[in-house]
Amino acid sequence: MQSRELVIIGAGPAGLSAAVEARRLGIKDVLVIDREPEPGGILKQCIHTGFGLHVFNEELTGPEYAERFIREAENLGVEIMLDTMVIELSADKRIVAVNNREGLMEIQAKAIILAMGCRERTRGAINIPGFRPAGIFTAGTAQRFVNIEGYMPGREIVILGSGDIGLIMARRLTLEGAKVKCVVEIMPYSNGLTRNIVQCLEDYDIPLLLKHTVVNIHGRKRVEGVTIAEVDENMKPIMSTAKFVPCDTLLLSVGLIPENELSRMAEITIDEATGGPVVNQRMETSVPGIFACGNVLHVHDLVDYVTREAELAARGAASYLADGGKKYEYVPVSTGSGLRYVLPQRINADAMTDSRQNFFMRSVRPMNKARLIIESEKGVIKSKAMRHVKPSEMISIQLGRDEVIGIKMLRFSLQEEGDGVERDG
Amino acid sequence: MADVVIIGGGVVGCMIARELSRYQLKIVLLEKEDDVASGTSKANSAIIHAGYDAKPGTLKAKLNVRGNPLFDKICSELDVPFKRIGSLVVALTDEELKALDELLERGKINGVPGLEIINRERLFKMEPNINKEAKAALYAPTAGIICPYELTIALAENACQNGVEIRLNSPVVDIKVENERMLSVITPGEIIHTRYVVNAAGLFADEISKMAGAEEYSITPRKGEYLIFDRRFGGIVSKVIFPTPTKISKGILVCPTVDGNFFIGPNSNDVQEKDDVAVTQKGIEEIVNGARRLVPDLPMRHVIASFAGLRAVSNTDDFVIEASKKVKGFVNVGGIQSPGLSSAPAIAEMVIEILKEEGLELKVKSDYNPERPQIFKFRHLSSEEKKELIRQKPAYGRVICRCETVTEGEIIDAIRRPVGARSLDAVKRRTRAGMGRCQGGFCSPRVVEILARELGISPLEVTKCGYGSEILKGRTKEFIETGGVAGAK
Ligand SMILES: Cc1cc2nc3c(=O)[nH]c(=O)nc-3n(C[C@H](O)[C@H](O)[C@H](O)COP(=O)(O)OP(=O)(O)OC[C@H]3O[C@@H](n4cnc5c(N)ncnc54)[C@H](O)[C@@H]3O)c2cc1C
Ligand SMILES: Cc1cc2nc3c(=O)[nH]c(=O)nc-3n(C[C@H](O)[C@H](O)[C@H](O)COP(=O)(O)OP(=O)(O)OC[C@H]3O[C@@H](n4cnc5c(N)ncnc54)[C@H](O)[C@@H]3O)c2cc1C
C-alpha cells in the first residue's frame, strides 16, 4: 500500500488542470492516473480548433490545448502514471489501480479528484430497432478511428443526433472524401453549438433533418441503409413519412453520460439530473475529501469551463488538506422551472475558496429571450436577462460571497419572456 | 474421411461432439458461420428450465427433466458459470391461480423435484419489486441460469481438445447418399466421406434433412426479442420471473443473467426468414408492456442493448430426434426449440444411443479429458491472484474493456485457444469485451488492433462476425485520392 497526498483519476483537461493548480497551491505530492497511453483525454482526438478562447484567448486545437497543460504539469513536477486503470475506489480514499508494469497497486490517498470524463450513449440506450450489423459507431469511436488510428469507418454515412461530436465528424468525414447523407435529429432543435451547425453542416451542404429519427437499421452483415421518419409532438415516428436512405454506416451522436462507476463504488451521491456527483461550492462530493470536475461531474461543451472547474476542485482539495476535513453545514441549491440542473447542488458561503462562486446550469429547451432568476428564502436576490438560450450551451453565472452569506436556500429558475418573435417548438 | 460428421455448431451440435469425443472416433463438426454459437444458441433466455412446462410424455418433457441435473457437473468440468437460482411463475388473477395448480400437477407428472406454490407473503419476501397484485407463485428451486454461448464455446473447446475437428466457415451445401446409406458431406471447400451424420443445423435442419433425402419436416422461425439492462440494476429480481404461460409460449419474463445484468423478453412472433433477427419497434413495446405486468418499475433509461433470437419450431411440435428410416446413418436432431438448451445434455445422450443402435462402434478413449483448462477472468480474481497473474503474464495488467474489466491477456487467450476467436463478436462472446454499458465504444478500436496483430492481418480485414462484416472501410486519405465516393465503390 502506497500513501499519496492527492491522487487525480483521469489525465484529460480536467485532471491536468487540477494537477497544475494543485501544484501551484503548494501540494507537493500530486499523482495523476490515466488508463490511456498518452495524457490529454478526449482532446487527443479533437483535432479541430475551438478550444481555449476563454482561458488563453486563442483558438487552439484539442491536442494543442492539452499540450499546454501537459507541459505545465511536467514543469511543475506532477507525476503522471499512464496505461494504468483505476479499478476500485472506496469511501476511505483507497484506490486499486492496475497496469502491466507494476501490476496491481493499492494506494491510500489523503484527497482525490475524480476527472474520469464521460462515455457516449449507445444504440441500446435509445433502442433503435433493426439488425445489428457492422457499421454502427458512436461518433467518438469513429473520431478515434479516423483521427488516431487513421482508418475510415465508412463511405456513405448517416448521423443520428446532432450532438457536437456528430457535427464535427460530419465535417471531418466529408473532408476525408466520405459522403455524409444527412444528420437526423429527433428534437425540433439541434443539440450542438450553433457555431458547429454553421461550420460543420451548412458550409458543406449537409442536410440537418430536425424532428426526424432512425426507425430501422438494414443489413445482416454490414449496414445497407436506414429508414428515417418524421416524429410527432410526442416524439413518436410518423410511419407514413418513413423513407429508406442507403448508407454503409450509421454514426450515433445521441448524448454523453458521465463515467461514474468508480464514484458509485465509493458510494458517492449521484445527481440524476447531471449524471455526476452532487458537489458543494468547492466541488467536493458527498464523501469528504473526494472532489470531482470536468465531464465526470456534468457534461461540458467548452473545455475552458472544464479547466476553471478543475482549478476550483484543486483549490477545494487544497483547503480540505489544510483544514483536515472540517465539517460544514450546507444550504441546498435547487433547480426551479426552465432548468435541467444547477451545479453546485449545495454551498457553504463561509467555506467558499474564492470570493465569487460560479454556478453552471442548462435550460430545458431553447428560449429566444429569457430571464434567469435567483432566489433565496427572502426572495429574488438577482436576475439576469438572457438571449438565445439553448440546452446545448451551458449557462454560467457568478454570485459574490456577500450575496450568499447567511441565506438558507438558493433556487435558480429560467423564465421565458415573450418577444413577439415566432419560435419553433 | 470421418466416422461422424456433425452439422451445426450450436449448443446441441457441440454437446453431441463433446459426448462423442469420449470414444475412439474421428469426428468433424461443420459450422457455416465464423464461430460456434452463432445461431439460436447465442440469443435465447438462457434458462435451464426445471421441466414443469412441457407436456407430459413428450421428448421435451423427458429430456428437459433428465438434462437439468446434469448441468452442475458439466459446468464445473468446463469452468462455465451456472447458477441454480430457481424460478417463479407468478399468478396475477384468479384464473391464473388455477393455471398454477395445473402447472404444479404437470410438473409432478414430469418428475420435477421441489415444486411448490408459495403465497404472497413469501413471494414478496423473495422478490420485493414484483407487481403488488401478485396472488401466488409456483416456485421451482431447480431452475438455473447460464450463459448459453459461453457454454457452447466451452463445449466446442473441450471437444476440440479431445480430438474433434471443428471447421468454421464451412456451410454444408450437399449430402451424398449411396444405396440408402450415408456417403459424404460436401462444403464449398471439401468432400468428407462419412458413414454417420448428425443433423444439428438448428433452423436449417429441415433443409439439411431434405438435402440428404431423409424424412421431411418443416421448421418455421419464431422470433423472440429482448432488452438487456445495465448491471447496476441486476438485483431487481433474484429469480427467473415468469408470467403464467399461455398456449404458445412461456411468456415475457424478467430474468437475471449469470453476468449480473437482467433482461426482459421474449415475445413470440412467426417470421418469414431464418435470418430475420431484427428487433422491431412493436416488439420492444410488446416486451416492455409484458414485463411491466411482472415488475412495474423498470429502469428503462438503463437499457444497454436489444437483440432477438429465432426459435426453430417444427411442424411436429416436439423435438425431432431419430435415425432416418430412409437414409442409413443419418440422424435428425431438429426442431430443438425451448427447452433445447436445458435438454442439450440429455439430447446428446439420446443421440449417442441412436448412433449405437445404428451400428456405430463406441470404444472408450483412455485419454479423454472432460476438463477445460482454466480460463482467467481478471474481474473474478482476488487481489493476490491478480498480482500473481500479472507477474507471470503482464498482458493481464492492461485493461482493454473498461465496462467489464477485460484485460489484453484475456483477449489474446480467447484468440489463441482452440476454436479461437476470429472476429469482434467472437472475442465479445468469449471475454465480454464490448458487452457492457458502453457496448464497445471504447474498446472496439483496441480489440480490432489486437485481432489484427494476433491474426497477422490488416485492421481492414477484421470483421464483426465473419466475411462481409468488416468494421472499417479504408484508410484515411484513401477516399480522397480515389475521387471520393462518386468514383469509388
Ligand atoms: C468530441 C468532442 C468535441 C468537443 N469539442 C469542443 C470544442 O470544440 N471546444 C471546446 O472548448 N470544448 C469541446 N469539447 C468539450 C471538452 O473538450 C470536454 O468537455 C473536455 O475534454 C472534458 O474533459 P475531461 O477531462 O472531463 O474528460 P476527458 O477528456 O474525457 O478525460 C478523462 C480521462 O480520464 C481517464 N479515465 C477515466 N476513467 C479512468 C479510470 N478508471 N482509470 C484511469 N483513467 C481513467 C480517461 O482515459 C481520460 O483520459 C468537446 C468534447 C468532445 C467529446
Ligand atoms: C427466444 C428464445 C428463447 C429460448 N429460451 C430458452 C431457454 O430459456 N431455455 C432453453 O432450454 N431453451 C431456450 N430456447 C431454445 C434454445 O435456445 C435452443 O433450443 C437451442 O439453442 C438450439 O440449439 P441448436 O444447436 O439446435 O441450434 P443453433 O444454436 O441454431 O445451432 C445450429 C447451428 O447450425 C448451423 N448451420 C445451419 N445450417 C448449416 C449448414 N448448412 N452447414 C453448417 N452449419 C449450419 C448454424 O449456423 C448454427 O450455428 C430459446 C430459444 C429462443 C429462440
What's the pLDDT tens digit per position in B101-153? Answer: 999 999 999 999 999 999 999 999 999 999 999 999 999 999 999 999 999 99
pLDDT in tens, A6-17: 999 999 999 999
Residue of B263, B338, B342 to test ligand 2 pocket, by largest number of atoms within 8 Å of CB: B338
CATH code of B94's domain:
3.30.9.10
Which of ligand 2's atoms lies nearest the C-alpha of B33? 47
In this prediction, residue A117 has a pLDDT band, given cuts at 50, 70 and 90, of very high
A221 and B278 within 8 Å at the Cβ level: the answer is no
Cβ contact, residue pair B478, A119, below 8 Å: no
**8 Å CB contact of A120 and B304:** no
Residues with CB under 6 A from ligand 1: A 9-15, 33-36, 41-43, 46, 48, 50-51, 85-86, 115-117, 140, 143, 164-165, 168, 259, 262, 294-296, 300-304, 306
Q: What is the largest CA-CA distance in chain A?
A: 65
Contact at 8 Å (CB) between B302 and B232? yes
Task: Using DSSP, state whether B90 is helix, strand or coil.
Answer: strand
Q: Could you tell me the residue range of the domain that residue B470 belongs to? A: 379-481
Contact A18, A115 (CB under 8 A): yes
Q: Which residue of B390, B439, B489 is in closest CB contact with A104?
A: B390
Q: How far apart are CA A362 and CA A274, in angstroms?
A: 10
Q: How many angstroms separate the CA of residue A216 from the nearest CA in chain B?
A: 8
Report the SS3 class of residue B358. Answer: coil
**B464 contacts A133? CB cut-off 8 A:** yes
pLDDT tier at A422, thresholds 50, 70, 90: very low
Q: Which of residues 104-163 of B touch A (CB under 8 A)?
A: none
- Are both B122 and B227 inside the same structural domain? yes
Q: What's the CA gap between B191 and B329, in Å, rounded?
A: 17
To the nearest 10 degrees (0 to 180), the angle between helices B424-431 and B148-161 is 100
Q: Is B33 in the pocket of ligand 2 (CB under 6 A)?
A: yes
Which of B391, B405, B408 is nearest residue A103 as measured by Cβ atoms?
A: B391
Task: Spell out where A219-355 has E strands.
Answer: 225-230, 243-246, 249-252, 256-258, 290-292, 331-335, 339-343, 346-347
Residue B105 in any domain: the answer is yes
Nearest CB to A129; choose among B228, B280, B468: B280
Give the percent of chain B with pLDDT over 70. 98
Q: How far is A244 from chain B (nearest CA, A)?
A: 16
Q: Band of the pLDDT at A420, cuts 50, 70, 90?
A: low
pLDDT at A419: 58
Average pLDDT taken over every residue of chain A: 94
The residues, any chain, with a CB within 8 Å of residue A296's CB and separated by 6 or more, are A10, A14, A114, A115, A116, A117, A118, A258, A259, A260, A263, A276, A277
Confidence label for A423 from pLDDT (cuts 50, 70 and 90): very low
Provide the number of structural domains found in chain B. Answer: 2
Q: Which atom of ligand 2 is nearest to the CA of B336?
A: 19
Whether residues A83 and B437 touch (CB distance < 8 A) is answered with no
A39 Cα distance to chain centroid: 18
Domain(s) of CATH 2.60.40: residues in chain A: 328-425
Q: Is the pLDDT of residue B470 over 70?
A: yes
What is the pLDDT at residue A124?
74
**CB–CB contact A153 B473 (8 Å):** yes
Q: Are residues B299 and B390 in the same domain?
A: no
A1-120+255-325: which CATH number, 1.10.30.50, 1.10.10.410, 3.50.50.60, 3.60.20.10?
Answer: 3.50.50.60
Q: What does the block give as the cell for B421?
A: 476467436
pLDDT given for residue B266 in this prediction: 97
Which of the ligands is closest to the CA of residue A299? 1
The letter for the amino acid at A231 is V
Q: What is the chain A residue with the closest CA to B442?
A: A141
Which of B146, B15, B158, B136 shows the shortest CA–CA distance to B77? B158
B367 φ/ψ angles, rounded to the nearest 5 degrees: -105, 20
Residue type, B329: G
Give residue A66's pLDDT.
97
Position B27 in a domain: no
**C-alpha torsion angle, residues A131, A135, A139, A142 (rounded to 10):** 160
Question: In this complex, is the C-beta atom of B275 within 8 Å of any C-beta atom belonging to chain A?
Answer: yes
B484 with A99: Cβ contact below 8 A? no
Which residue, by CA, sits nearest to atom 14 of ligand 2?
B338
B233 with B123, same domain? yes
CA–CA gap between residue B441 and residue A80 (Å, rounded): 25
- C-alpha angle with apex B234: B232 to B239, nearest 5 degrees? 170
| CA–centroid distance for A299 within its chain | 2
DSSP A343-389: ESSEE-GGG-SSSEEEEEEEESS-EEEEEEEEEETTEEEEEEEEEEE
In angstroms, what separates the C-alpha of B392 from chain A's closest C-alpha? 10
Question: According to the model, what pLDDT value does residue A79 have?
Answer: 97
Q: Which three cell numbers stand for residue B124?
A: 414478496
Which residue minimizes the CA distance to atom 41 of ligand 1? A86
Across-strand partners of A226? A217, A245
Q: Which of B232, B275, B386 sits opposite A104 (nearest CB)?
A: B386
Give me the pLDDT at residue B481, please.
65
Q: A206-263, pLDDT tens digit by residue? A: 999 999 999 999 999 999 999 999 999 999 999 999 999 999 999 999 999 999 999 9
Tell whether B50 is covered by a domain.
no
Give the class (CATH, top level) of A328-425: mainly beta
Of the candidates B226, B199, B235, B221, the one whose C-alpha atom is nearest the C-alpha of residue B355 is B199
Average pLDDT over residues A62-87: 97
CATH of A122-254, one of 3.40.50.1000, 1.10.287.1080, 3.50.50.60, 3.30.70.330: 3.50.50.60
- Reported residue count of chain A is 425
In which residue ranges of chain A is CATH 3.50.50.60 found? 1-120+255-325, 122-254
Q: Is the CB of B49 under 6 A from ligand 2?
A: yes
What integer pLDDT is reported at residue A424 of this predicted model?
Answer: 44
- For residue A356, give the C-alpha cell: 465569487
Determine contact: B362 vs chain A, CB below 8 A: no
Task: Determine the number of helices (DSSP H) and then strands (DSSP E) in chain B.
Answer: 15, 23
Kindly state the average pLDDT of the residues A58-65. 96
Atom of ligand 1 nearest to the CA of A305: 11
- β-bridge partners, B167: B30
Last residue of a domain, one of B283, B308, B333: B308
Burial A378-389 (b: 16+ CB within 10 A, else e): eeeeeeeebeeb
Q: Which residue of A has its CA nearest to B441?
A: A141
Query: Measured between alpha carbons, how far is residue B27 from residues B18, B172, B357 in Å?
Result: 10, 15, 18
pLDDT at position B488, please?
36
- The count of other CB atoms within 10 Å of the CB of residue B310 is 25
Atom of ligand 1 at shortest range from CA of A85: 42
Residue keyed to cell 443489413: A219
Last-in-domain residue among B259, B283, B308: B308
pLDDT tens, position by position, A72-81: 999 999 999 9
Strands (DSSP E) found in A243-338: 243-246, 249-252, 256-258, 290-292, 331-335
Q: Is there a cis peptide before residue A13, judged by omega within 30 degrees of 0?
A: no
Whether residue B322 is contained in a domain is answered as no
Q: Which of B252, B275, B308 is a domain's end point? A: B308
User: Nearest-CA residue of chain A relative to B486?
Assistant: A179
Structural domain includes residue B173? no
User: Are A133 and A249 spatial neighbours (Cβ–Cβ below 8 Å)?
Assistant: no
Range of weakest confidence among A61-70, A237-246, B244-253: B244-253
Residues of B labelled catalytic: 49
Total number of residues shown for chain B = 489
A177 closest CB neighbour out of B278, B467, B484: B484
- Average pLDDT on B65-93 reads 97
Query: 3-state DSSP call for residue A318?
Result: helix
CB contact under 8 A, B281 and A129: yes
Alpha-carbon distances, residue B109 vs B68, B70, B244 (angstroms): 16, 20, 19
The number of the ligand nearest the C-alpha atom of A51 reads 1
Q: What is the mean pLDDT of residues B379-395?
A: 96
Q: What percent of chain B has pLDDT over 90?
A: 93
Q: What are the respective helix, strand and coil percentages of chain A, to the nearest 5? A: 25, 35, 40
**CA torsion sign, B386 to B387 to B391 to B394?**
positive
Closest residue in chain B to residue A239, using alpha carbons only: B281
Q: What is the pLDDT of residue A229?
A: 97
Q: How far does residue B217's CA lie from ligand 2's centre (Å)?
A: 17
Nearest-Cα residue of chain A relative to residue B470: A134
For residue A253 the three cell numbers come to 451522436
| Alpha carbons B138 and B477: distance in angstroms, whole number | 63
* Of A83, A104, A178, Cβ closest to residue B387: A104
Give the pairing of strands A151-152 and A136-138. Answer: unpaired
Greatest distance between any 2 Cα atoms in chain B = 73
Burial annotation B428-437 (CB, 10 A radius, 16+ → b, else e) = bbbbbbbbbb
Kindly give the distance from the C-alpha atom of residue A251 to the centroid of ligand 1, in angstroms, as a whole number. Answer: 19
Atom 48 in ligand 1: residue holding the nearest Cα? A41
Chain A residues whose beta carbon lies within 8 Å of the beta carbon of residue B449: 149
CB contact under 8 A, A146 and B480: no
Minimum-distance ligand 1 atom for the alpha carbon of A301 = 15
pTM: 0.93
Asked if the structure places residue B207 within a domain, the reply is no
User: How many beta-carbon pairs below 8 A join chains A and B?
Assistant: 164
Q: Letter for the amino acid at B116? A: E
Continuous segment of H or E residues that includes residue B61:
helix B59-67
Does residue B264 sit in the same domain as residue B386? no
Q: Report whether pLDDT(A125) > 90.
A: no
In a domain, B269, yes or no: yes
* B32 touches ligand 2 (CB under 6 Å): yes
Nearest to A367 by CA among A392, A396, A344, A336: A392
What is the rounded CA–CA span in Å between residue B121 and residue A357? 53
Shortest distance between the Cα of A105 and any Cα of chain B, in A, equals 9
pLDDT at A343: 97
Q: How confident is the model at residue A376 (pLDDT cuts 50, 70, 90)?
A: very high
Number of C-beta neighbours around residue A377 at 10 A? 10
Within an 8 Å CB–CB cutoff, is residue B55 touching chain A? no
Top residue of A38, A106, A175, A221 to mutate, by most chain B CBs within 10 Å, is A221
Taking only the tens place, the pLDDT of each residue in A323-370 is: 877 888 999 999 999 999 999 999 999 888 889 999 999 999 999 999
> CA of A126: how far to CAs of A121, A186, A213, B68, in Å?
8, 11, 11, 37
- Regarding the beta carbon of B244 and ligand 2, being less than 6 Å apart is answered no
Measured distance CA(B333)–CA(B9) in Å, rounded: 13
